[in-house]
Chain A
């Protein structure tokens, strides 16, 4: 079974802190994604990556950056956390870019910025 592991289930940070959210997948997937999920807004794509050292902006990249130095690991960085970044963050991966490929999600990180 594919496993997508997010480093923390719950995280509490202060405004202005630099925050790292880590995601690791164990099935040699090409693609990795970071979403945030907020009530009433659903899943919104922040950044994604189709290859090592490659990144593309999603729909809401402002205030975030990402790093993909190794194929299995995709990190989301909040350079200076703000209260409006309090959210559930979900990492996902998929095998390749074929249209029918499904996403496998990690269990999420609930981030609270105080």
Chain B
């Protein structure tokens, strides 16, 4: 099993739709996770952190399913501006330090 896996998409959804994508990870000891957003030809920027209790920020909800070893990102009421690639990042194998492992990203296109 790869360390971090994501469905590359693209997910094409109409404006206003709810969309969710998952990120699976192999290190069962991982404790904190992150979702980054990357616009086309731009650098990744932190969207949300994910801890055991999950996280919600406006239309975005991130959850952790420790038993099945995946994190999810839910976007409600999708906007055109949500079109981007969403990368998940999981901690290093020793759970200490900053050398996160990134997934390949899931591409989202929100259509008018």
Residues of A within 8 A of B (CB): 31, 33, 35, 40-45, 48, 50, 56, 58-59, 90, 94, 97, 99-103, 105-108
Complex CA–CA separation, A61 to B14 (angstroms): 42
| 18 CB < 8 A contacts A-B | A31-B98, A40-B104, A41-B104, A42-B103, A42-B105, A43-B87, A45-B99, A50-B97, A59-B101, A99-B31, A99-B32, A99-B96, A100-B32, A103-B46, A103-B98, A105-B43, A106-B43, A107-B42
Residues of B within 8 A of A (CB): 4, 8, 31-32, 34, 36, 42-46, 49, 87, 89, 91, 95-105
Contact partner, A97, options B4, B32, B97, Cβ 8 Å = B97
| Additional A-B contacts beyond A43-B87, A100-B49, A102-B49 (13; CB < 8 A) | A35-B102, A42-B103, A42-B104, A43-B102, A45-B101, A50-B97, A90-B43, A97-B96, A99-B32, A99-B91, A99-B95, A101-B98, A103-B98
Count contacts between A and B, CB distance < 8 Å.
58
B42 x A42 contact (CB < 8 A): no
